[in-house]
Structure 1
Amino acid sequence: MNISALITTVISFIIKPQKRALVRIANTLKGKTGLEIGGPSGFFALKSYCPVYLFAKQIDGVNFSNETVWEGSIKQGLNYAYTPDKKGFQYIAEASNLDAIANDKYDFLLSCHSLEHVANPLLALEGWYRVIKPGGLLILVLPDKNHTFDHKRPYTSFEHILNDYAQQIDEHDTTHFEEVYALHDLSMDNGVQSLAELKARTVDNFTNRCVHHHVYSIEVLSQMVQHLAFTVVHSQIATPHHLVLVARK
Structure 2
Amino acid sequence: MSIIPEHMLQARRKISNKYLIGQGLEVGALHYPLWIGEKANVRYVDRLSVEELRLQYPELNQYKLVNVDIIDNGEKLERITNNSVDFIIGNHLLEHCENPLATIRNHLSKLRNSGILYYAIPDKRHSFDLDRPLTSFEHLVRDDREGSEVSRIEHFHEWVVLVNKVKDDEIDASLQKLLEINYSIHFHVWNDSTFPEFLLRAQKYLNHSFEIVHVEQNDTEIIAILRKTNHGLLAKLKSYVRNSWIN
Q: Which has the higher strand share?
A: 1
Q: Which secondary structure state, in structure 2, belongs to the residue aligned with residue 136 of structure 1?
A: strand
Shift of 1:238: 0.7
What runs of 5+ residues in structure 1 fail to find an aligned partner?
Answer: 1-11, 46-52, 73-80, 187-193
Secondary structure of the residue that 1:54 maps to in structure 2?
coil
Superposition RMSD in Å: 3.3
Counterpart code for 1:92: I
Deviation for aligned residue 1:230: 1.1
Aligned to 2:41: 58
Is 2:28 the partner of 1:38? yes
1:157 to 136, 151, 155: 136
**Contact map agreement 2:116 2:226 (CA 8 A) in 1:** yes
Is it true that 1:26 corresponds to 2:12 in the alignment? no
Q: Distance in 2 between matches of 1:64 and 1:171?
A: 22
Note if 1:181 corresponds to 2:160: yes
Q: Using structure 2 for the length normalisation, give the TM-score.
A: 0.70
Distance 1:119 1:231 in 2: 23
Residue identity opposite 1:90 in structure 2: D
Name the one with the larger helix percent: 2
Q: TM-score, normalised by structure 1?
A: 0.70
Identify which of 162, 183, 188 aligns with 1:209. 183
Q: Which moved more, 1:216-225 or 1:142-151?
A: 216-225
Match of 2:174 in 1: 200
Query: What per-residue deviation string (whole Å, max 9, x for no partner) do you get for residues 46-66 of structure 1?
Result: xxxxxxx23343211221122
Alignment check: 8 A CA contact 1:201 1:210 kept: no
Query: Which residues of structure 2 form unaligned runs of 5+?
Result: 1-5, 60-64, 229-247
Matches within 5 A, 1:104-143: 104-143=83-122
1:133-192 superposed Cα distances (whole Å, 9 cap, x missing partner): 110111101111000011111110111101001112259921222322332265xxxxxx
Mean alpha-carbon deviation: is it higher for 111-120 or for 201-210? 201-210
Q: CA deviation at 1:28?
A: 3.9
| Distance (whole Å) between structure 2 residues aligned to residue 210 and residue 235 of structure 1 | 25
Q: What is the match of residue 91 of structure 1?
A: 70
Residue identity (%): 25
Cα 1:165–1:203, aligned 2, differ >3 Å: closer, same or farther?
A: farther
CA contact (8 A) 1:121 1:161 kept: yes
Letter in 2 for 1:183: L
Preserved contact between residue 156 and residue 175 of structure 2 (Cα < 8 Å): no
Counterpart code for 1:236: E
- Structure 1 pair 199/118, CA: closer, same or farther in 2 (3 Å)? farther
CA–CA distance in structure 2, aligned partners of residues 43 and 222 of structure 1: 27
Give the structure 2 partner of residue 230 of structure 1: 210
